[in-house]
Amino acid sequence: MMTKTRRAGITAIGAYAPSKVLSNDDLSKFMDTSDEWISTRTGIRRRHVAADDEFTADLAVSAIKDMQRRYGEAVLEGVDMVIVATNTPDAYFPSTAAMVQDYFGLKAGAFDLLAACPGWVYALSVAQAYVESGICKKVLAIGAEALTKIIDWNDRSTAVLFGDGAGATLVEAVEEPFGIKSMILGADGAGGKHLHAKAVGKCLLDGTKLGEHVYMNGSEVFKFAVRVMKTSTVEAIEQAGLKTEDISLFVPHQANLRIINAARERLELAEDKVVVTVDEYGNNSTASIPLALCHALDGGRIHAGDNLLLVSFGAGLTWAASVLTWGGGKK
């Protein structure tokens, strides 16, 4: 007797962005920049900034509350693992995930995952493995960032790019044709010198010194991003057994509009098949894609059966791409 393949999918989602907003004009009041300088280079016009007493765990909790608002409080029943992908944990330990687990009183395992901006897609891959192997039934995969707390507000090359926010997704078994159809994960540690932030070390293994704030070699990261956005998405589409024309919506990491447009053009996708939120939120790192997914859902752009193409890139250097067929839950 043949057994049906167990496939994991996203069945619920929620997102949160802090109420405080900094526009490009606001930034121009205390640094040498302008709306024209920022928007023409990045596509960013605003970013949401966590309050002084608001941190990554708070953002994650708010995203899950939004999920409960959309699907009902019972949506968390049976969750047996919590994963928080973040580059800005409240503490090295306890994990941000453990704080979230305790807040909602979940009888679940919990751990943080650090893979830079692709972290949420990495977390989605771990959740997929847990569900499809039968280790877990319901996994919360969360991306949450308080990046504005670790940037140098005197460095316009990085300060203008980042914003804070969180996105939460529930992953569990779904029936065909829904669910995660492909997962591509990659890393090139030799590129770590181009994008980094200090923790407890003084330097990388290659001797690159670590500073107190985020450092980015913009031109090198741009070239890397454009390349892997194309190669990883093509690989993800092929692994899913699909063609580019089968993709209903492209949901990329929201780091830079020029990078998004370059990837879209290389994939030969129409503009109306791409989700763009970088103008409103800036770069939210791990929270970027789930925030964009919620934005598209609320705009009526995602429907059951749609094939969604996700891709992200970041420090490490790391990248991740996935194709999933939306369904198994309602907005």
The pTM score is: 0.96
Instruction: State the catalytic residues.
Output: 117, 253, 283
Whole-angstrom CA distances from 276 to 61, 220, 330 are: 25, 23, 22
Two structure tokens written together for 319 = 């990248």
Q: Is the dihedral of CA 259, 302, 58, 99 positive or negative?
A: negative
For residue 275, count other CB atoms closer than 10 A to its CB. Answer: 23
DSSP 176: T
Say yes or no to pLDDT of 32 above 90: yes
pLDDT digit string, tens, across residues 91-142: 999 999 999 999 999 999 999 999 999 999 999 999 999 999 999 999 999 9
Whole-angstrom CA distances from 69 to 94, 145, 186, 302, 331 are: 27, 21, 35, 19, 10
Dump the DSSP string for 251-275.
EE--S-HHHHHHHHHHHT--GGGB-
Q: How many residues does the chain have?
A: 331
DSSP E strands in the chain: the ranges are 7-16, 21-23, 46-48, 81-85, 109-113, 138-145, 165-174, 179-187, 195-196, 215-216, 249-252, 307-314, 318-325
103 Cβ partners below 8 Å, 6+ apart?
57, 61
123 Cβ partners below 8 Å, 6+ apart?
83, 84, 85, 113, 141, 142, 143, 286
pLDDT digit string, tens, across residues 146-169: 999 999 999 999 999 999 999 999
Q: Which domains does the chain have, with CATH numbers?
A: 7-174 (3.40.47.10), 179-325 (3.40.47.10)
pLDDT digit string, tens, across residues 37-69: 999 999 999 999 999 999 999 999 999 999 999
Would you say 50 and 148 are in contact if contact means Cβ atoms under 8 Å apart?
yes
SS (H, E, C) 285-298: HHHHHHHHHHHHHH
CA gap 203, 189 in Å, rounded = 14
Mean pLDDT (the chain, rounded)? 96
Two structure tokens written together for 293 = 């997914």
pLDDT at 6: 82
pLDDT at 331: 40
pLDDT at 185: 98
DSSP 208: P
DSSP 105: T
CA gap 232, 165 in Å, rounded = 25
pLDDT digit string, tens, across residues 253-266: 999 999 999 999 99
